[in-house]
Amino acid sequence: MTVSAHSLHKEKVLQDHLIAELVRGEGYERRDPKVDYDRALAMDRALVLRFIQSTQPEAWEKLTQHYTASAEDVFFKQLDKALKDRGLLDVLRKGIKIVPGIALSLCYFRPASALEPKRVAEYQANILSVMDEVEYSQKHGGRLDVVLFVNGLPVVTIEAKNVLTGSTFRNAEKQYRDDRSPAGEPLLTFKRGALVHFALDEDNASMTTRLMNGKTRFLPFNRGRDGGAGNPDVEDEHRIAYLYKSGVWGEAIFSRSVLLDVIGQFMVMEVTGKDEVMIFPRFQQLDAVRKIMAHAKTHGTGSNYLIQHSAGSGKSNTIGWLAHHAINLHDEADKQVFNTAIIVTDRVVLDRQLQGTVTQFEQTTGVVKKIDGTSRQLKDAIAKGARIIVTTIQKFSTDHLKELSGQGNRTFAVIVDEAHSSQSGKSAQAMTDALTREANSSDDIEDLIAEYQKARGPQANISFFAFTATPRNVTLERFGVKGEDGLPHPFHLYSMRQAIEEKFILDVLQNYMTYKAYYQLEKAIEDDPELSGRKGQRKVARYASLHPTAIGQKVEIIVEHFRRHVMHELNGQAKAMIVTQSREHALKYFFGVQTYIKAQGYADLKALVAFSGDLDVNGEPTTEADLNGFAETELPGRFDGFKPDGTPYPDTYHILIVAEKYQTGFDQPKLCAMYVDRKLSGLQAVQTLSRLNRTRAGKDRTFILDFQNTIEDIQTAFRPFYEATTVEAMSDPNQIYDLEGRLFKFGYLDKDEIERFSQTYFKGPLSTADRPRLEGLVRQAVARFEADDDEGRQEEFRQLLKSFNRFYAFIAQVISLEDTSLEKLASYGGWLSRLLPNRELPPEIEITEEMLSLQAFKVDKKEQGSASLSPGDTQALAAISEFGAKPYTEDEKKELSEIVQAFNDRHGTQFSEADMIRFEQVNRDILDDNLSEMLRNNPPDVVYSAFAQAFFQGAIRMFQRDNEMRNIVLSDPEARDKATRHFFNRALREAQEAG
């Protein structure tokens, strides 16, 4: 179509071009809105009839025989009723029924297999059509630029603008909000009318599934440009050509294959309480699923895919769509690619959320198996060939799964949530074993070990689809796709930068304020006790940070800032979170906030506290539920202010004070401010501060006040994950031999003992009689270790052994190794690491008011402004090249006055560390990779029971060697619980610092 230069500046240019391309390239039929559009029914009646009569002649004949001349009127009356009652999406998917039992389909979706020619022909018989300048309103002459139809039913409306006339897609959005009221208009009515509404100009696109006048929320629907928002240039085309024209970017969004796939397998009605939301996939979600499936269709199983999608980008939905598409995927030979999709996570709460999300996409009951019971349930689901399984990864580590074999000929799509943690430990290896294990065909130990080692590496029958917003270096190397530079990259990217620039999430660093606490501590006793210098500093810092004066001044800053700058955001519904460094700090803050708001008469302000376990309050064990006045499980709803049915709670809470809980995986869009009083770094900083990034109508800014970190600290944490995460270089796998050589130089290890250990360990399922033999062999190395009086050498060996075990577990997943000696040392080293004695720690002295006096305390503002990153402000992650094997040397003892001075020089750096030497060995025994992953990625209250059980069993094992503890723990439940709680917090801290 040719147009004059003058016409180029008319608004219709884009819509005319779009329609021409749909008709020419995508097989659309152009219809006349004045002749073919029925305003009252909001459909193309003639096209609906043509589709029904041509594809289902027998059903239509039966209808006309039953209703004679009124058949057509009866059909449209029942169709209209079904649209009003059930909605267009359901009608397109399930059709309608008319008495006396006549079933009529309104759309045919692409069959998974091409082996059924009848179903393929039905799919090809769908009629796609387009109208422009559609007078849709029954009240006025309002028009829509473009409407797309499937079999005469409207599915997409479009308002198209021309940037050359000075109007953009934002003007189109405004037009929908101001001039496209859905009231009384069938085409625009939610559920009954068109499924999605697009606002376009030549460069950008956005969409919404529900018109609500001024409250209408449009979501970006762009491909992304140079790592940020927008769309890339397209030669001889508009930047939004991907909507209406198939090209190098793939099939057009409005093409038959994509549009019908979205309607048939993506769109879903999400119901939360009284709220209903129609989900239409955003471009990145749709693009990721389709590109992954296209690659798997061509290459089959055995590939890895890293999907780096920003936090808050709808990852759970993308995972659900991917699983359902995976089980229906057939290759070019029409063979099913994946027999089963297994969705794994190591977060118990997220597992439940994923179960619900994936099930809502289910169109055939029973396809999704939710493993919410025991590992036996998981084993049965795999053995019986369940199509989609949703489970926590820890269930693969049980004895039930060790019995599973014979799965090597079946194919699996393993979809991993938060890949950086879920695939690093024993559970990940146990999962691979379960999905590849075959009955042993050899009795030779070397063959068995070689098979065991091979199972660690890439598997031909398993494809991994790993999702994370914050990939680590090991995640990139394990799952990334090698680029032309030889380095791994994400298979699909939706970066934090793009999400922020598109305003899909908020930039949490936009308003950042830091404070610094200054202390003046004076000793109050003549004779200073002797303490370890480093630990002494930490104890003094902890004493000062918990001092009422310190808490009180920070509370005043927080509450006044919240009242002045935050409280009235979101029409008074704004929330804030105070992030503290320990349970004790959370408790002190809670009482401090309550005291301050009461003293100031702020009756309109209320706070909640969240911490695991119980704490001593006036001599009584007190829990979070005791202080808040309701169960822990109710806290998210109470903080939000609404019950599950959508009715409000009587009390409104504004501030949530936390210690570990709710710093990850907590989705509360009303959070507008965060007050940070703990050190944050790396992933922990990104995940914690990202609690603020969720968008909500009226929320366009956030606030962070930080008492512990600098702006540079936070920017350093965010840089690797702002755009596409990269690594500087690949890790050198030959480092594993360097580690092996260094370990043997200490003289603690004996190759013959390792060989004899392996002969028993790898022969098959271990019996109770095997454990004493294995432990006896390992204890010979422990004895040599203990005979060495060089604590520095001991600590270096201990750290090197951990480094070897971790690096081997990683490298064996990336490369198919063929050296059984490494596998032997890894298995032996795992046992040795747990049996090595703890290093001696100096005695602890509790610092009290009598020892120290806090004479002066003040909090000064240090930095204020934006901490936001700029395009290109990124930092590549380092490859694995350094191993934590520095010799341990005890700090020189210092007098308390020197400790106080050193502390003041450091301006109050705050740490906490508890110490109960007698039980250190229990933690060392039970804290394997599996349990550490659970602690790192779940709220403490969720995993405490699992930890407590493991701790108790570990304590019993310890008592076999230490009779002195038996009576205390077995006969005194209170003492046992205190010890368990104490070491749970230590384990939690260690896991999170390691993460």
463 vs 668: CA distance, rounded Å: 33
- pLDDT, tens digit (0-9, with 9 covering 90-100), for 716-754: 999 999 999 998 888 888 899 999 999 999 999 999 999
Instruction: Look over the chain and give the mean of its residue pLDDT values, rounded to a whole number.
Output: 83
Q: Are residues 706 and 661 in the same domain?
A: yes
- What is the gyration radius of the CA atoms in the chain, in angstroms? 32
User: How does strand 481-482 pair with strand 488-489?
Assistant: antiparallel
36 vs 43: CA distance, rounded Å: 8
State percent of the chain over pLDDT 70. 79
pLDDT greater at residue 681 or residue 580: 580
832 vs 726: CA distance, rounded Å: 35
179 vs 214: CA distance, rounded Å: 10
Q: Say if CB 688 and CB 565 are below 8 A apart.
A: no
- Find the length of the chain: 995
Q: Are residues 60 and 174 in the same domain?
A: yes
What is the phi-psi region of residue 828: left when phi exceeds 0, alpha when psi lies from -120 to 50, beta otherwise?
A: alpha
Dihedral angle sign, alpha carbons of residues 852, 857, 862, 864? positive
Q: Say if CB 471 and CB 419 are below 8 A apart.
A: yes
Q: Say if CB 736 and CB 825 are below 8 A apart.
A: no
- Going by C-alpha positions, the residue among 630, 662, 808, 639 that lies closest to residue 735 is 808
928 assigned to some structural domain: yes
Q: Are residues 869 and 931 in the same domain?
A: no
Average pLDDT over residues 345-371: 64
Tokens 């201990």 locate to 798
SS3 252: coil
Q: How confident is the model at residue 674 (pLDDT cuts 50, 70, 90)?
A: very high
pTM: 0.82
Residue numbers of the domain that contains 398:
281-494
- The residue from 494, 520, 549 where one domain ends is 494
Distance of CA 585 to the CA centre of its chain: 28
pLDDT for 533: 53
506 assigned to some structural domain: no
Q: How confident is the model at residue 11 (pLDDT cuts 50, 70, 90)?
A: low
Average pLDDT over residues 25-32: 96
521 vs 852: CA distance, rounded Å: 7
pLDDT at 899 over 60: no
823 assigned to some structural domain: no
- Going by C-alpha positions, the residue among 822, 832, 836 that lies closest to residue 774 is 832
Q: Are residues 158 and 42 in the same domain?
A: yes
797 assigned to some structural domain: no
835 assigned to some structural domain: no
Q: How confident is the model at residue 895 (pLDDT cuts 50, 70, 90)?
A: very low
Q: Are residues 546 and 605 in the same domain?
A: yes
pLDDT at 527 over 60: no
Q: Are residues 46 and 135 in the same domain?
A: yes
774 assigned to some structural domain: no
Dihedral angle sign, alpha carbons of residues 957, 963, 967, 973? negative
- pLDDT, tens digit (0-9, with 9 covering 90-100), for 209-236: 999 999 999 999 999 998 899 999 999 9
pLDDT at 694 over 70: yes
Q: Residue 361's domain is classified under what CATH number?
A: 3.40.50.300
- Going by C-alpha positions, the residue among 868, 857, 987 that lies closest to residue 933 is 987
Average pLDDT over residues 672-678: 95
Q: Are residues 207 and 288 in the same domain?
A: no
- pLDDT, tens digit (0-9, with 9 covering 90-100), for 229-267: 999 999 999 999 999 999 888 899 999 999 999 999 999
253 vs 283: CA distance, rounded Å: 9
- The count of domains in the chain is 4
- pLDDT, tens digit (0-9, with 9 covering 90-100), for 582-618: 889 999 999 999 999 999 999 889 999 999 888 888 8
Q: Are residues 453 and 580 in the same domain?
A: no
920 vs 942: CA distance, rounded Å: 23
Q: Are residues 481 and 539 in the same domain?
A: no
- The residue from 204, 239, 266 where one domain ends is 266
- The residue from 494, 520, 543 where one domain ends is 494
Q: How confident is the model at residue 442 (pLDDT cuts 50, 70, 90)?
A: low
- Going by C-alpha positions, the residue among 171, 283, 157 that lies closest to residue 222 is 283
SS3 344: strand
Q: Are residues 897 and 973 in the same domain?
A: no
Q: Are residues 478 and 619 in the same domain?
A: no
Q: How confident is the model at residue 567 (pLDDT cuts 50, 70, 90)?
A: very high
592 vs 549: CA distance, rounded Å: 10
13 assigned to some structural domain: yes
Tokens 């009715």 locate to 647
List the beta strands (DSSP E) in 362-461: 368-370, 388-392, 412-417
Q: Are residues 523 and 454 in the same domain?
A: no
Q: How confident is the model at residue 399 (pLDDT cuts 50, 70, 90)?
A: low
- pLDDT, tens digit (0-9, with 9 covering 90-100), for 181-200: 999 999 999 999 999 999 99
* Pair of tokens at residue 269: 């009605």
